[in-house]
């Protein structure tokens, strides 16, 4: 399910940024999960409950393959196993339909450039002060960099700033916390 609609996983941190007051753990340090099994715990811990629900639905799709195979009644199969498989399959299909309705009404944040490339992400950093604050972290490992960012205690937001010629640019900004490196 995650791979079928990567926009939901891609835009979840940006939805938090546009809502303002997002921590690093729930916004700039979130990376989209590559498989539902790997995504449930990190998504729950970063408070992306919608994405976690979709990851659980992806896991249930694996269970559905097993339960559907027991639905055609066979004399070698216990009637109880047949009955349980039938109702578990129906419950999973109902959950999938509810998730499909949710995805149908899901609205992405309005962004002039999609953040699915490095260049798209850099556009949002170029006008804000965040790039200047994080410039010294280039030589660190991912773990060290993430720990430094968490210790800064900043809150992140995306918004519009005036651009050249009266245009409006969407920029990523940070506020509060400690910005000095130790």
Q: Quick check: 65 pLDDT over 80?
A: yes
Hey, where are the domains in the chain?
6-105, 118-175
Task: Give 25-36 pLDDT, tens digit per residue.
Answer: 788 887 777 777
Can you tell me the mean pLDDT for 81-108? Answer: 89
Number of helical H runs and strand E runs in the chain: 7, 2
pLDDT of residue 169: 59
The pLDDT assigned to 94 comes to 96
**Nearest to 128, CA basis, from 157, 164, 167, 165:** 157
Average pLDDT over residues 89-100: 93
Q: What pLDDT does 18 receive?
A: 80
Average pLDDT rounded to a whole number, residues 85-101: 93
Mean local confidence (pLDDT), 78-93: 90
Q: What does the angle CA 173 – CA 177 – CA 182 come to, to the nearest 5 degrees?
A: 110
Higher pLDDT, 10 or 85: 85
Q: In this structure, what DSSP letter does residue 115 have?
A: S
pLDDT classification of 76: cutoffs 50, 70, 90: confident
What distance in Å separates the CA atoms of residue 35 and residue 2, rounded to the nearest whole number?
A: 7
Residue 155, phi then psi, degrees to nearest 5: -110, 140
Residues 6 or more apart from 128 whose CB is under 8 A from it?
161, 171, 172, 173, 174
Please give the average per-residue pLDDT across 71-95, as a whole number: 87
Q: Distance between CA atoms of 34 and 58, rounded to whole angstroms?
A: 12
Question: How much is the pTM?
Answer: 0.64
- The whole-number pLDDT of residue 6 equals 57
C-beta of residue 149 within 8 angstroms of C-beta of residue 133: no
CA angle 55, 60, 63 (to 5 degrees): 145
Q: Which residue has the higher pLDDT, 174 or 180?
A: 174
């Amino acid at each position: 399910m995650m791979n079928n609609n990567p926009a939901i996983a891609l835009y979840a941190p940006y939805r938090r940024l546009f809502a303002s007051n997002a921590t690093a753990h729930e916004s700039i340090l979130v990376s989209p999960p590559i498989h539902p099994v790997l995504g449930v715990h990190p998504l729950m811990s970063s408070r992306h409950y919608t994405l976690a629900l979709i990851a659980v639905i992806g896991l249930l799709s694996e269970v559905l393959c097993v339960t559907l195979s027991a639905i055609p009644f066979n004399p070698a199969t216990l009637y109880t196993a047949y009955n349980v498989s039938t109702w578990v399959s129906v419950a999973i299909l109902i959950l999938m339909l509810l998730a499909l309705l949710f995805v149908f009404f899901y609205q992405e944040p309005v962004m002039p450039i999609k953040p699915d490339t490095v260049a798209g992400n850099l556009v949002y950093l170029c006008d804000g002060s965040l790039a200047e604050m994080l410039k010294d972290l280039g030589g660190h490992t991912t773990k060290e960099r993430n720990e430094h960012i968490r210790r800064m205690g900043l809150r992140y937001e995306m918004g519009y700033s005036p651009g050249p010629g009266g245009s409006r640019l969407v920029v990523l900004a940070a506020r509060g916390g400690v910005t000095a490196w130790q």
